[in-house]
Amino acid sequence: MTDKNRILIVDDDDVVRQSYLRSLESTSCQVAAASDGEEALQTMEQNPFDVVLLDMRMPGQDGLSVLRTIKQKWPESEVVIITGYPTVDSAKEAVRLGAYDYVAKPVGPQDVINVADGAMTRKQWALRRVPEEKDIASGARAA
């Protein structure tokens, strides 16, 4: 990850937010935090993040509704759901809505780094594919 990569941590538990922030300090990226879904969406409106680490259960909007909004407004952002209450149904719904990954708490420091790095890599590959697909569709790469 580079310092241009931006990660948003969204969790209503201050200890969890601080833990993820400390875990990601060793990476060379910009990290911010939000305590609930509304704050997360306001933060995204100001300057969209590349990766969002998103808690499932929070006061106000739950993680799935925040995920739905993020993927509608900022489809290029990758979202990782991190939950202390994992279920098969919520995992399926998260993936259907476009989540990059679904992780059960507790999450260790290296797990936070690995999942954020994986989401960032997926975003970078997706951004590289888009121009190629447009070139092929327009016939620019005809043999």
Q: What confidence tens digit (pLDDT) does each residue in 64-76 have?
A: 999 999 999 999 9
Binned at pLDDT 50, 70 and 90, residue 1 comes out as: low
Per-residue tokens: 14: 């201050």
Binned at pLDDT 50, 70 and 90, residue 89 comes out as: very high
Kindly provide the residue ranges of all beta strands, DSSP E only, lying in the chain, ordered along the sequence.
Answer: 6-10, 30-34, 51-55, 78-83, 101-104
The answer to whether the beta carbons of residues 33 and 17 sit under 8 Å apart is: yes
The answer to whether the pTM exceeds 0.95 is no
Would you call 62 helix, strand, or coil by DSSP? coil
pLDDT in tens, 23-59: 998 888 999 999 999 999 999 999 999 999 999 999 9
Would you call 58 helix, strand, or coil by DSSP? coil
Ordered domains of the chain (ranges, CATH): 6-138 (3.40.50.2300)
Phi-psi region of 97 (alpha: psi -120 to 50; beta: other; left: phi over 0): alpha
